[in-house]
Amino acid sequence: MSTSIVVPRWERTATEAFQPPVLLAALLIALPWGANPSAASLWWGISAALIVCGVPLAVVLMLVRRGILTDHHVSVKEHRRPVMAGVLVLVLSYLTAAILLQGPIEIVALLVATFLAGLVIAVVSPWWKISGHGMMMGGTIVALTTSWGVVGLLFVPVGLAVCWSRIRLQDHTGPQVISGFIYGLAFLGSIYAWIVT
């Protein structure tokens, strides 16, 4: 009797590896460090990643284990608004500290963009499940090219693959992913670029 091993599909791997909190955490560390490789930049980046991304993700995972949420991507539309409200409170709190303590401009820009883009997503989500992955892919492409020039364009195939993975996994419809991606490019990314430059 032979048993078959189920190999995770690339779509699931892409979705998990580049989920919004993980990608935002990476940007919060990489962008300030890329602009000014110093211990202070690293401290700001790591602390922002832990507070703004790590804490909410840990809480969401706990709520999933308790059966309050269905999954860590918060797939149920009605669950998204309270989760996003909690995240936005943390983003605003850390953003306030970063402004008052003159933190790296890249962190301030990312958090302003995340807060404003997140507000709109929180309002829209109960009625239409716009893709947070799509938004982060679009915003990341703009943020990376703003900060790192043409090297940032290397992320384009990754961003498109992640967007496609959301459709293939049937976590979102094509229009939900495309609108999220365009929203990320036009709104989240543009806010970051405007503040940094």
Cβ burial, residue 101 (10 Å; 0-12/13-18/19+) = exposed
Torsion-angle region of 76 (φ positive above 0: left; ψ -120 to 50: alpha; else: beta): beta
Q: What is the pLDDT of the chain when averaged over all its residues?
A: 92
Cα–Cα distance for residue pair 124/104, rounded to 1 Å = 31
DSSP label of 9: P
Choose between 4 and 43: higher pLDDT.
43
pLDDT band at 105 (very low <50, low <70, confident <90, very high): very high
Radius of gyration of the chain (CA): 17
- Tens digits of residue pLDDT in 134-160: 999 999 999 999 999 999 999 999 999
- Tens digits of residue pLDDT in 5-23: 444 589 999 999 999 999 9
Q: State which amino acid sits at residue 68.
A: I
